[in-house]
Every structure is written in structure tokens, then in C-alpha cells.
Amino acid sequence: MKVNRKIFSLVVVLLLLTFVGGCFQPGEFAVIDSNMANYKEEGVTPKVDEINLEFSRDLADVGVILLENQETTKDIKVTQSGNQLVISDLDLQPITNYELKVSVLDEAGNKLVNQYQFVTEPTSYPQVEQINDTILQSFYWEIGTGDYAQKYPEEKNLWKLLGKRAPDFSDLGVTALWVPPANKAHNKEDEGYAAYDLWDLGEFEQAGSTETKYGSKEELEQAIADLHQQDIEVYYDGVLNQRIAHGENNIEEAPLKGGETIKSYSNFSPLKGRQKYYSRADEFKWNWKAFDGVDYGVERGAMGSKNFKGKSWDDTYGKDYLMAADVDYENENVQHEIKEWGSWLVNDIGFDGYRLDAVKHIDSNYLSEWLTHVQENSEKDIFFVGEAWIESTMGLRFFINGIGNDNLKLFDFPLRNAFTELSYGSLNMSALDSMGLVNDPMYGDRAVMFVDNHDTSRDAGSHKTPIMHRQMQAYTYMLTREQGSPMVFWKDLYNSDNQENLKRLLKVRKNYAYGAGREVDNNGDGVYSYVREGLEEHPNTGLVAMISVGTSGKVATRKIKTNHPNTTFYDYARNIKEPITTDENGYAEFKVRQAKDSGWSTWVPSN
């Protein structure tokens, strides 16, 4: 028998736990250690040829059965000595279901039955030179608050957690993180969209605290360093449209267009962050002159949006006014400062890109100028995605043309509307070849696809209905697509029942979703399939992705051509257990189940 030092130390730890009141009861008949514990996280590979179990008592009799794909009983070797049991000669196959049943008797005739179920991993993954881009939105509305803070206490200091989790992100194939607005907000509990001082990243005692909801500036900078260590880019959430006051110190007398003077929350000077970092900080103040208008006066109350004296609303795609004190991008001081700030975040703090909030309410000319400025003043290839909340593809196209800047990508809201229909079961699956910006022949690669985000999936006050059903079908579509960039939502990845499924799907994207993407010719009747041809230099890349909208529980088959003749494919999603082998022309009958909670398959070539 193999002497395993790790087991010995684990036993010591278990005994220690007992001593301090752990759950292991001395004298209880139980498995006290097993190498299966190690495989819980890393998965069982076909190379595993031995399972070790150590019991709390010596064994008198042993019965072991290993079932392959729920039917075949495998020939295995069982060796027992004292309280140790070794099951060997396993001959495991890749991506196959196994069920191990172990029943043992101790010397007094007490019986103990243990069952282990596992699906084996592939023997190896393709090693592509450049993995696909995958963005993670690394927060959600409720993060670090209420029940979530109880259940996920590590999320209370987000910056620390992001640094710590960087290796896991890398393992999943995440290449970039969109982090929440890191600027000081009007109070510490705020998510960051109620921007107070854009230059204060949790460094100055302002608006009631030094830290932001997510931590301190030092912690943010450490997180960026840890993420860069794993080759993960970090995107800043830029809130350029509005400023929101903290309290009485921000009240000033301000003249409105038409002669009336009100008391408004529009005096933001001095701002400590700005005074420290902006060399022209003394040349103007952030008071009403830096804004176009407000919709509230201290004595007047809500009054609808009104311009300050001499101001006019900016030239925007939507209405310029959205909320609070609306920034005036025709003001040259403002223009200059926000450009300097944009470059500071990239060049001094280390950000690699931006997610830009509410861009249809920001001056279109200035937005384009700002994008060009930030890009041209950096050696990095800066990523920019705008939140232009426009739910038609034609509208997004119109917005892109209006901004006229090749650097800007946009969130694909119309594609998400298709996912909503998919969720309800009412989507015509054959239309999935043409939905959203991602399928636009000109602008497909400008699309950032998403299933849900901090606005569309909130527990209360959600701006849309969250995608409740067929979430994995939507993610499968998005994460296997050739065009566009997909964004995965933290709440789906770490706080949902789907997290293991989503992690497997991310691995499909990282390892197999390469080569040209191709629509098949038999989409419809509740099934959509999509092929990635694979890379010539990596013959074990490529895939067939299938999603369904049906609920019968039956398996649907589609004859699909791949670029892989005489090749065995496995469903990496584990929703269909049996492998499929293509003929000499690359054809096979691929399968997907018609069910809400298992209606997706990602067929990948075996290695």
C-alpha cells in the first residue's frame, strides 16, 4: 500500500477538528480519508487508476461495484488491508459517467455504504496560442449587502477578493474584468453610479468616508496588479453623465435660464482627489457652471429638468438630461479635465479599458473626442464598451454611426431581448442566426453580448425581468459565437445554481470555441445548432453547440457536418452521456435534450 503523507496530515487535521468540537465523532464507522476529496475540485481524469479509502475501523468484508454510464459493470481490482481499501485497474474513459458503490462490514458486523459519482475529464486540452476574449462583470447590484453579505462575506471587500481570485479567473479563461465604478460616490453604500469625485478611488476622507463600497485605493491597485499577473485586463466603469451631492456643503445659489435663482446641489468644490491629481484644478470649480442643469431645488423640490443660465443641453443620442447634476460637455474646462482623468486611469492607475455608463446621454462629439484622446495617449490597445441602452439593432447601428469612432463597442441589448424570448420558450430558434448587433454584417464584432447585468437582474427594482429560464442556453449561444465579445455576469457565475454548468461552458470557450463559425441548415423546430470549425494547427479544437427550447424531455437529433471526419465527440456539458462519432465526411447525428434545465450540449472532439 502506498504511504501517503498528505493523508496522514489530513487525519491529524481531522483529529484536531474533533478536539476543538468538529463533526467527526470518535468511534463512528466512517470513511476518514480518501483521495476522492482531491478530485472534487480538479476533476477525475482518465489517468486516475486508483481510489484509496481509509476507514475509522478495520474491515471484515468488502463489496465494490463500478458502473460505467449507469449500466456496464467494470472489472476492477480491490485490495483490502486493515482499515485501508484500494480500488485499482480502473481503466477510466474520458468524459464518461461513473458510479462507485462501496459497501463494507466491520468486525462486529456493522454495515457502511458509500457512493461516489463522477464524470471524467478529457485526457488533455488543446493548447491554443491566444485564448478567446471573455469579459467578467465582477459585481452585481446587491453585492456586499444584506443577505448576500451574510452568505458571501468575502464579497464585502471586492478589491481584495478580485486579487485573490485572479488565478481562478485565469483558469476559467476570463481575460478581462469589468469592475464597478471605483470613484467616490455620494455615500459609502452607493454602487458608484452616484458619482461624487471621479479622482477619488477610495483615498480621501470625502462624502462620509475614505473607502468606497469596494475598498481602498491601495486595495484596488493591488487587485489590478494581481489581475495583470494573470494576464487579465481591468476595465473601469466610467460615470461621465452626472454628479450627485453628499449633503449641505454641496448646496449653492444657482441661476436658471429665465431669471429664477434656486438653491441646488451643484457645488462640488473643493474636491480633494481633483486638487491632488489635476494640474489645472485651481482654474475652475465644479459648481453650476460645469453643469447643464438639474431637476431639483432645495426649496423648490422636484421641478423637472431645467437648464442653468446660459446653458443648453448637449447634442446627444437620447435626452441629455438623465439625473442629478448633468455634466456640461460643451464647457472647455470640463472637456479638458475628463480627458486628463481618462488618461490618468489608464497610464497611472493601470486600467486597460472602459465600460462607459449611460453614453446615449453624453455629448456625442465629445464622447468620440474623448475615446480618441485616451487611445492616442496610451501605448495600450484600450478597450471601450458603451452602455447605450437601445433595444433595436437598427438603433445601435444608428448610434455607432452617430459617434463615428471605431474604438467603441456596445452592449447587445437586442440580443438580450432574444434571450428573454428564449427564456419564455417563445423564440423562433431558426431566427437566432440574425438576432442582435452580433449578427450585423458590418458591426458584429462591436457587440458585447450579455445575458444579465447589474441593472437587468436585481432582486428589487430590476430594470428588466432577469433571465430566469434557459439561462445556460443563452450562455451557450453567446460563449460559442465567433463574432463579438461575451460578458459573463458575476451573480450567474458565483451566486447561482448554474455556477458549475457555467464554469464548464467557460472551459469549452477557452479550449474549443475556435475557427470559423457556421450556421447549420436545419435550425428550427425548437433546436438551434452552431458549428465552430476548429483551428488547422490544433485539430482537437472546434465544436458543435446545440440549444433547445422544448420541454418534452426527449432527445432531439440533427445531422450536422463538422470539419472532423471519423472523430468521436463528447458533450462537455454532460447533458447527453453517450459519445457520437462522425463518418468519413465529418457528418454525425448530434443530440440535444428538449428540457429547460438540460437543453444545451457542447460537443467537442476527443483527444
Q: Which is nearer to Ca ion, 360 or 510 (CB)?
A: 360
- Is 320 among the residues that bind Ca ion (CB under 5 A)? yes
Closest separation between CB of residue 363 and Ca ion, Å? 6
Catalytic residue numbers read: 357, 387
Helices 364-376, 393-403: axis angle to 10 degrees equals 70
Contact positions with Ca ion (CB under 5 A) in 190-249: 241
Whole-angstrom distance, CA of residue 116 vs CA of residue 35: 12
- Contact residue for Ca ion among 252, 314, 452, 571 (CB under 5 A): 314
Contact positions with Ca ion (CB under 5 A) in 326-365: 326, 328, 330, 361
Grid coordinates in use for 469? 429560464
Closest separation between CB of residue 337 and Ca ion, Å? 15
Q: Which is nearer to Ca ion, 200 or 328 (CB)?
A: 328
Whole-angstrom distance, CA of residue 336 vs CA of residue 495: 41
Whole-angstrom distance, CA of residue 140 vs CA of residue 492: 10
Closest separation between CB of residue 319 and Ca ion, Å? 8
SS (HEC) of 320-371? CCCCCEEECCCCHHHHHHHHHHHHHHHHHHCCCEEEECCHHHCCHHHHHHHH
Grid coordinates in use for 165? 481570485
Closest separation between CB of residue 315 and Ca ion, Å? 9
CB neighbour list of residue 72: distance below 8 Å, 6 or more residues apart? none
Residue 445: count other Cβ atoms within 10 Å of its Cβ. Answer: 13
Q: Taking the mean position of all CA atoms in its chain, how far away is CA 174?
A: 8
How many residues in the shown chain lie near Ca ion by CB under 5 A? Answer: 8
Closest separation between CB of residue 343 and Ca ion, Å? 21
Q: How many CA atoms lie within 13 A of 499 on its CB side?
A: 7
| Burial class of residue 223 (count of CB atoms within 10 Å of its CB; 0-12, 13-18, 19+) | buried
Grid coordinates in use for 193? 453610479
Contact positions with Ca ion (CB under 5 A) in 263-302: 292
Q: What are phi and psi of 597, to 5 degrees?
A: -95, 5
Contact positions with Ca ion (CB under 5 A) in 552-571: none
Name the residues that contact Ca ion, by CB under 5 A.
Answer: 241, 292, 314, 320, 326, 328, 330, 361
